[in-house]
Structure 1
Amino acid sequence: MALCRVYGTNNQMDYETGMDSKKVPCSEDRLDSGLDSLKEELDSIVDNMDTLRVDNHDYTQTDYINEPWKLQRTEDGDTILHLAVIHEAKDYVFQIINRSRNEPFLNVQNNQRQTALHLAVITEQADLVDTLLKAGCDPQLVDDCGNTALHIACKKGSLHCFSVLTQYRPQHLASILAAPNYSGHNCLHIASIFGFLSLVESLIQLGADVNAQEYCNGRTALHLAVDLQNLELVKLLVAKGANVNSVTYGGYTAYHLTYGRQSTEIQQQLHALTAQDLRELPESDEEDSDEEPSSEEEDIYDDIFVRGQK
């Protein structure tokens, strides 16, 4: 079950590209994985799946080595389990999981550093998420974008996967909620960016810091809500205790970000709540471009020649 998104009046901004625009964008589209590259091995395992042992004891390293199908990889780095999850072959997934309980095999990461758990969330198979977690999948592992499975659930608005992930190992939940991905966003930031109000509220109830700052420039969820001109999100965050006087690393409050934006209602609401001494825009550190250079600056460049002229 995926939640409906609630957007502001502006178009969706891209907050997931990170600080380096030259980096290859993160991709979650794994549905085109090369199944044919392991088709023979997969068919062989499927044909013999009924004869596999499915008892519940923890397997030894010898058991692992004696099952060569666990060592097979596609050109994308996918295991048989990755492929079965991607293609939603649930009967086979459950049997493979039973053959691999509490083994490192369950946490193998492909070339995008995705585990089977990541893929189960991407394909929104909450029952597989639950089974994988109980079998020993690590919910704290991150993909090549720094996203845990919970980050992805918040990005997709997958309520069922979110519910399963947040109920598992509550002692680890606080660290997962606080963990930023490689764009500097934690789960609350991501849910806010994609406008999933129910997830935002649930995250705060679960203990997410409503005033946590993203690592790149210090924006809080409230700053992001203003950026996106999402009035309902602004109201929700304020009601949940968001600090309207929190400033970014550049010294900007959420109110400052309302300048030049369409929603006068957001501006009016934040103006009333923001401390009076924080309403004025911070002065720029840059010097006036029309200002004459000092003699000291002239001395620095007195050795420049153009066409032979000093």
Structure 2
Amino acid sequence: MDVHRAAIMNYMDCNVDEMDTKNRKVQHCEDRVDSGVDSLKEDEYRKIVEEMESLTLPNPSANPKGMCEPWTQVTEDGDTYLHLAIIHEAEDYAIQIIKQCQNDPFLNRQNNQRQTALHLAVITEQPHMVDRLLKAGCDPRLVDQSGNTALHIACKRGSLACFSVLTQIQTQHLRSILTFPNYSGHTCLHIAAIHNYLSMVESLVQLGADVNAKEQCSGRTSLHLAVDLQNLELVHLLIALGADVNSLTYGGYTPYHLTFGRQNSEIQRQLFNRTAQELRAMPESESEESDEEVSSDDDCMYDDIQFCGR
């Protein structure tokens, strides 16, 4: 059966906004999540609905293997009927498919952007669907093409409802998910800190996230990121949660060092008082050399070398 889907937009990948290393500001890129309904012609959308309605659920006893075969057709974007039902928020159809495919690998099928139905349920803000998918056997550890789990996406979008469901169901995987860095090197805690979702930051640490985890690009912790963002409230929260003010980036910088040249003197004062005295001075650049280390031309002359006995 052919699935007709015209001009349904590709979903924006959920990369965490990169920190501008020069200006140390978050670069915000617009997050567009469109169900695609408005981009479909009315007759084309109706045809999709009719095709889904024409499907009959198989009798499990008559077909114990391959129970989800009727739903395996995919669009050119790699979306299955389940993906489409969630994208279009067709809850009744999605529930029928989920019920028929309990603990079936089909539930973890990924589209061309490696998004599972669980990713799409979070993107479209459907916490009830997130709940059903997890209870039906969806794997919350799967990542999309940007390395984001469904929890990474919930932290980026500030979706407290989806966050709550994802952290209360299938908790046997939660500890490992909290340590996962996405392909930008950020854990869920880094993402929540960057986007200033303070309640999520606190909840993640209480759930077991390492408050001193370093992002993999330059070794900054969430406290370093809070200083980058000049977010005094976040700095206070992270310190209260046990953030190490003496943690060093890969370049040897403490959070206090990142306050130099910044406008918020209160952040600088708070960190100065807490930073170890021996770590307050800025680390010297490896390119700096003292005059004593530079040899003169005279030092390079060897008068005792003899050629041919002379």
Give the structure-2-normalised TM-score.
Answer: 0.79
Do the aligned partners of residues 128 and 284 (structure 1) sit closer, same or farther apart at CA in structure 2, a change above 3 Å counting? same
The aligned residue for residue 266 of structure 2 is: 265
Is the 1:150–1:187 contact (alpha carbons within 8 Å) kept by the matching residues of 2?
A: yes
CA drift of 1:72 comes to 1.5
**Residues of 2 paired with 1:72 and 1:119: CA distance?**
18
| SS of aligned partner of 1:143 | coil
Do the aligned partners of residues 234 and 284 (structure 1) sit closer, same or farther apart at CA in structure 2, a change above 3 Å counting? same
Unaligned runs of 5+ in 2: 1-22, 298-310
The aligned residue for residue 46 of structure 1 is: 52
Is the 1:211–1:220 contact (alpha carbons within 8 Å) kept by the matching residues of 2?
A: yes
1:61 partnered with 2:61? no
The aligned residue for residue 35 of structure 2 is: 31
Q: Percent identity?
A: 62
CA drift of 1:62 comes to 3.8
CA drift of 1:87 comes to 1.1
**Residues of 2 paired with 1:241 and 1:210: CA distance?**
7
The aligned residue for residue 15 of structure 2 is: none
Deviating beyond 2 angstroms after TM superposition, the runs of 4 or more aligned structure 1 residues are 25-49, 51-55, 57-65, 290-295
**Residues of 2 paired with 1:117 and 1:35: CA distance?**
24
Superposition pairs of residues 71-90 of structure 1, within 5 angstroms: 71-90=72-91
Greater C-alpha Rg = 2
Do the aligned partners of residues 94 and 284 (structure 1) sit closer, same or farther apart at CA in structure 2, a change above 3 Å counting? same
Do the aligned partners of residues 280 and 272 (structure 1) sit closer, same or farther apart at CA in structure 2, a change above 3 Å counting? same
Do the aligned partners of residues 223 and 54 (structure 1) sit closer, same or farther apart at CA in structure 2, a change above 3 Å counting? farther
Query: Aligned pairs, how many?
Result: 272
Is the 1:114–1:144 contact (alpha carbons within 8 Å) kept by the matching residues of 2?
A: yes
Unaligned runs of 5+ in 1: 1-9, 16-24, 296-310
Do the aligned partners of residues 82 and 173 (structure 1) sit closer, same or farther apart at CA in structure 2, a change above 3 Å counting? same
CA drift of 1:149 comes to 0.1
Q: Deviations over 1:122-162 (max 9, x none)?
A: 11100000000011111000000000000000000100100
The aligned residue for residue 201 of structure 2 is: 200
Superposition pairs of residues 1-310 of structure 1, within 5 angstroms: 12-14=25-27, 29=33, 31-32=35-36, 42-48=48-54, 51-53=56-58, 60-65=64-69, 67=70, 70-287=71-288
Do the aligned partners of residues 11 and 281 (structure 1) sit closer, same or farther apart at CA in structure 2, a change above 3 Å counting? closer
CA drift of 1:38 comes to 8.2
Is the 2:68–2:100 contact (alpha carbons within 8 Å) kept by the matching residues of 1?
A: no
**Residues of 2 paired with 1:225 and 1:198: CA distance?**
15
Aligned residue type for 1:250: G
CA drift of 1:281 comes to 0.6
Higher relative contact order (CA 8 A, sep 6+): 1
